[in-house]
Amino acid sequence: MQVFKFGGASVKDAKGVRNVAKVIELMGKTQKVIVISAMGKTTNALEHIIALYFAQDNNLKAEIENLRQYHHKILDELFKTKQHPAYTKTNYFFDELEIFLSRNKSPNYDFVYDQVVAFGELISTSIVSQFLHQLGIDNAWHDCRNLIHTDSTHRDAEVNWEQTQTKIKAHINPEELSITQGFIGSDENNFTTTLGREGSDYTAGIIAYCLNAENVSIWKDVPGVLNGDPSVFKDTQLLNQISYEEAIELAFYGASVIHPKTLQPLQQKEIPLFVKSFYDPKSPGTCVTKGEAIQPKVPCYIVKNDLIMLSLSSLDFSFFVEDNISEIFALFHKYQIKVDLIQNSAISFSVCIDNKFKNADKLIEHLKAKFKVKFEKDVTLLTIRHYTDKTLKEMTKYKEILLKQFTQETVQLVVKSSQ
């Protein structure tokens, strides 16, 4: 059996849903688990709804209704009558969303986030499942919260592999066509958890691992893994094959095509991963598997924006030693700060950090009690894998470099975003 994952761009409208159905018909209507993300920018819309909820903004109900109407427009184009069960199911989920927000007592943003954003995936998969039924394609819809069990770390949950494998094997028949959600799971109290932003790829990897899948295919609006973001770099090249190790390196540095955690379970069982175009299903795309690091071997460019450059030094000019560094990393963990780059000297310690949980200001205030702190917000981290002297010269031209770090295969540059 195979696992397919379709992202939000592939189901952003009725045309996209029809195309997903065509890909399934073309590639086979049985022995597959289809993992589907929220439609289009639904997750962003739900994040806005969460912000309005915490701000007690009067526009909250209107924004929920706008999102409902976005999905109703897709339903209107896919189904012949408003009496179709797809409308009932979609409205049920929106009603559940409103009920949760009206009854919730928790002030914990991360907890509320997980309970709310999950509705995007639940709604999208319900619509796709119902549309496939309308086409005569038998499928079983599964709530992924009954499949993937995690701890209670909201917005970045850790998988309980033993429970998850038991549940997946009990609920999913590998001979059938199954539809489920990406990104979501549940904890021991049956509260919804999420696996991290863009975690639908990871869901596909988890399911493939638990079912010993033949392979995983991630369907994108690009021909495969390119050596750079085509919206940023000109003349990008398709990478035909990447090793697991190389793909993990690229994901770690921030390549957006493959989620960083996705490859770990696949590598353990040597399950190949394909990144393919849903516009051209028969094209080979990119294969991630054992073997040569990268084919063709060309420089790969990764850009991460909106980061913070943080530089610490001791107040008394004493050395930066293990105790200092372990204390700092304990604070990174406490404030849910992801570190993208580290560099230290005898009396200073510099990091480039990702502030996705918006806790950097609290961290900085905490650090000021013990260290001299300098920081610059809105910086860009540019990573070049398999760099050459020529590419390095081209990429550093006219840029103000705040920090530079080399390894044998990789150079990383922290630059001012305005550059």
Residues placed in the known binding site for ATP: 5-8
Widest CA span of the chain, in angstroms?
A: 74
Binding residues, by number, are: 5-8, 43, 121
- How many Cα atoms sit within 13 Å of 282 on the Cβ side? 3
Helices (H) and strands (E) in the chain, counts: 12, 17
- Sign (positive or negative) of CA dihedral 247, 253, 259, 260: positive
Site of tokens 């390894």:
407
Phi, psi of 34 (to 5 degrees): -105, 120
Q: Where are the alpha helices (H) located in 306-397, listed in sequence order?
A: 322-334, 360-368, 389-396
Residue 323 vs residues 309, 311, 327, 329: alpha-carbon distances, Å: 22, 17, 6, 10
SS (H, E, C) 266-307: HHHCCCCEEEEECCCCCCCCEEEECCCCEECCCCEEEEEEEE
Rounded CA-CA distance 61/65 in Å is 6
Q: Long-range CB contacts (< 8 A, 24+ apart) of 288-293?
A: 288/225, 288/241, 288/242, 288/243, 288/244, 288/247, 288/258, 288/263, 289/241, 289/243, 289/244, 290/243, 290/244, 291/241, 291/243, 292/241, 292/243, 293/242, 293/243, 293/245, 293/246
Phi, psi of 12 (to 5 degrees): -75, -15
Take residue 363 and report the two structure tokens written for it: 């961290």
Rounded CA-CA distance 180/160 in Å is 18
Which value, in Å, is the radius of gyration of the alpha carbons in the chain? 23
Binding residues for substrate, by number, are: 43, 121
E strand or H helix that includes residue 39 = none
Take residue 132 and report the two structure tokens written for it: 């496939």
Q: What is the dihedral of CA 228, 233, 234, 238, to 10 degrees?
A: 10
